[in-house]
A and B are shown apart, each in its own frame.
Chain A
Amino acid sequence: MGLELDFSVVLDRWQSLLDGAALTLELAFIAVICGALIGALGAIGRRGGNVLIARLCGAYVEGIRNTPLLVQIFLVYFGLSSLGLKFSAFTVAAVALTINVGAYTTEIMRAGFDSIHKGQIEAAEGLGLSKAQVYWHVVLWPAIERVYPALTSQFVLLMLASSVTSQISAEELTAVANYIQSETYRSFETYIVVALIYVVLSFIMRLGFWLLGLALFPRRRRLGTPL
């Protein structure tokens, strides 16, 4: 028996695949934006003077880093429904992914903040900048620039990991694939196509972050050297 591949029945469903891919990107987009915000705040909280806040941020990070994403998704899913709150699978998926990526981003941002030399902060304070101004101008942006490659990887990883949300029937790409293969019995072909679509999505994301980096970091654009 040789290997017989028939992609036609899979490719016939290109509209569903496209919808799934779009939903995957949408999930990733929401989780990245919200997660980046949580990550920046979490890192500030973890490094700040308030011990209680620092501990809470630390517990959040450790809690997420030491449990599987799928379990986190189920916790959000069943947690919300046992509270009597009904949300769509998409919303639950977005919330769970945000919580997950927020924790990893907290750690990455913390490393970025830690890389800013104390002398930088003193120079800014010596010029009369307020604490918030120092954080914004002298700490946050150089920190982001330093950890930008790590952030990009983490965010692409999140997009790929969003396939797990098919388990709660969020209609993203992997869920669509499951559906197509059960209808067509062309499982291998379906997942080959889906894998290729994920590669394209990763590429689109990396391209997007590269362009964003050019816009955000003019020094890097001009000199091409790491900060």
Chain B
Amino acid sequence: MNAHTPPPVSAGTAPVVALRNVHKSFGPLKVLDGVSFEVARGEVTVLIGRSGSGKSTALRCIDRFETIDSGEIEVCGLRVDNPQLDLRALRLDVGIVFQSYNLFPHLTIEENITLAPHSVKKVPKREAKTLAARVLEQVGLGDKLHAYPEQLSGGQQQRAAIARSLAMQPKVMLFDEVTSALDPELTGEVLKVIEALAADGMTMVMVTHEMGFARGIADQVVFMHRGKVHEAGPADILSSPATPELAQFVGTGL
């Protein structure tokens, strides 16, 4: 645990992630219609909204898994909307965890974790293994180094995927509905890991349908509706929504 308190949003430091008037269409379908929000260092931003509201797309745009049509995205000082962006530099700063874990099935958990530090950052094999043991310990899977993904439960696989991302020491982590494929018990163990990361001061952007969790962890809630940021603010907006759409969404979400 490092004893660092997130700086207040008003501290004047540049945001770690900033979306400014982002537009994005898939063919005739407008998915993002002028989306703007910022994420300060050490802050947890939770994106909520109905399926198809654009929240996952917004998250994927941050890591350039989708390119945007217009607007600006800035991540750790890099302009993500720049076509000449150094993708490797972006992805060294950003870690992403997916709904379907996406562990590499032919590699052990240790190999899953050491692959990127070793081949991207050129960390020597032995050091990478030490690192793998450490991050696995951090997510409570210290005894699974030599297991293969298929030998783990869904919750364990997702925690291993988080550990794999952590091993690259990203400045910001993106979570794309990481508990949607898990039952409540397994969801709980994954959320605990994410909570510990938040307590450690990790900057995070997450898409989730776990409203109780969002309320507990979010510094900022961004409610998306029809490709726009419909309402945004501190976690309190979940208890006292200003718009009928959020009220209805939270009502059905609980």
- The answer, among B95, B104, B148, B151, for a CB contact under 8 Å with A126, is B95
Query: Do A128 and B150 form a contact, CB below 8 Å, given A123-B98, A137-B115?
Result: no
Q: Give the dominant DSSP class at A's interface.
A: helix
A138 vs B119: C-alpha distance when bound (angstroms): 13
CB <8 Å contact, A119 and B100: yes
User: What's the minimum C-beta distance from A13 to chain B, rounded to whole angstroms?
Assistant: 48
Residues in chain A within 8 A of chain B (CB atoms): 117, 119-120, 122-130, 133, 137-138, 141-142, 145, 217, 219, 222-223, 225, 227
Q: How would residues 138 to 177 of chain B score, 1 for a CB under 8 Å from any chain A CB and 0 otherwise?
A: 0000000000101100000000010011001000000000
CB <8 Å contact, A138 and B164: no
A142 vs B165: C-alpha distance when bound (angstroms): 21
- The answer, among A123, A219, A223, for a CB contact under 8 Å with B102, is A123
What residues of chain B lie closer than 8 Å to A117, measured between beta carbons?
102
Can you report 16 residue pairs joining A to B where beta carbons are below 8 Å apart? A119-B98, A123-B102, A123-B103, A124-B104, A124-B115, A125-B65, A126-B91, A126-B165, A127-B91, A127-B120, A127-B165, A128-B92, A129-B116, A130-B120, A137-B104, A223-B148
Q: How would residues 115 to 127 of chain B score, 1 for a CB under 8 Å from any chain A CB and 0 otherwise?
A: 1100111000000
CB <8 Å contact, A128 and B91: yes
- The answer, among A126, A137, A141, A145, for a CB contact under 8 Å with B96, is A126
Q: Which 8 A-B pairs give the minimum distances between C-beta atoms?
A: A123-B102, A127-B116, A128-B91, A128-B120, A119-B102, A126-B96, A142-B106, A119-B100
Can you name the residue of chain A whose Cβ is closest to the Cβ of B93? A128
Can you name the residue of chain A whose Cβ is closest to the Cβ of B121? A128
What residues of chain B lie closer than 8 Å to A225, measured between beta carbons?
150
CB <8 Å contact, A223 and B105: no
Query: Do A133 and B100 form a contact, CB below 8 Å, given A127-B91, A128-B91, A145-B106?
Result: no
What residues of chain A lie closer than 8 Å to B120, measured between beta carbons?
127-130, 133
CB <8 Å contact, A227 and B102: no
What residues of chain A lie closer than 8 Å to B88, measured between beta carbons?
128, 130
User: What's the minimum C-beta distance from B132 to chain A, rounded to whole angstroms?
Assistant: 13
User: Does B43 belong to the interface (CB within 8 Å)?
Assistant: no
Interface centre among B65, B88, B105 (most CB of A within 10 A): B105
User: What's the minimum C-beta distance from A121 to chain B, rounded to whole angstroms?
Assistant: 9
CB <8 Å contact, B116 and A128: yes
Can you name the residue of chain B whose Cβ is closest to the Cβ of A225? B150
User: What's the minimum C-beta distance from A147 to chain B, rounded to whole angstroms?
Assistant: 13
Interface centre among A120, A127, A223 (most CB of B within 10 A): A127
User: Does B219 belong to the interface (CB within 8 Å)?
Assistant: no
What residues of chain B lie closer than 8 Å to A137, measured between beta carbons?
104, 115, 119
User: What's the minimum C-beta distance from B205 to chain A, rounded to whole angstroms?
Assistant: 14
What residues of chain B lie closer than 8 Å to A142, measured between beta carbons?
104-106
CB <8 Å contact, B104 and A122: no
CB <8 Å contact, B105 and A125: no
Interface set, chain B 176-213, CB cutoff 8 A to A: none
User: What's the minimum C-beta distance from A104 to chain B, rounded to whole angstroms?
Assistant: 24
User: Does B81 belong to the interface (CB within 8 Å)?
Assistant: no
A6 vs B32: C-alpha distance when bound (angstroms): 84
Query: Do A219 and B148 form a contact, CB below 8 Å, given A127-B164, A137-B115?
Result: yes
What residues of chain A lie closer than 8 Å to B115, measured between beta carbons?
124, 127, 129, 137
User: What's the minimum C-beta distance from B116 to chain A, rounded to whole angstroms?
Assistant: 4
Query: Do A122 and B102 form a contact, CB below 8 Å, given A127-B115, A128-B88?
Result: yes
What residues of chain B lie closer than 8 Å to A138, measured between beta carbons?
104
User: What's the minimum C-beta distance from A109 to chain B, rounded to whole angstroms?
Assistant: 16
What residues of chain B lie closer than 8 Å to A227, measured between beta carbons?
105-106
CB <8 Å contact, B106 and A123: no
- The answer, among A122, A217, A223, for a CB contact under 8 Å with B98, is A122
What residues of chain A lie closer than 8 Å to B65, measured between beta carbons?
122, 125-126
What residues of chain B lie closer than 8 Å to A127, measured between beta carbons?
91, 115-116, 120, 164-165, 168
- The answer, among A120, A122, A129, A223, for a CB contact under 8 Å with B151, is A223
A217 vs B106: C-alpha distance when bound (angstroms): 8
A200 vs B80: C-alpha distance when bound (angstroms): 60
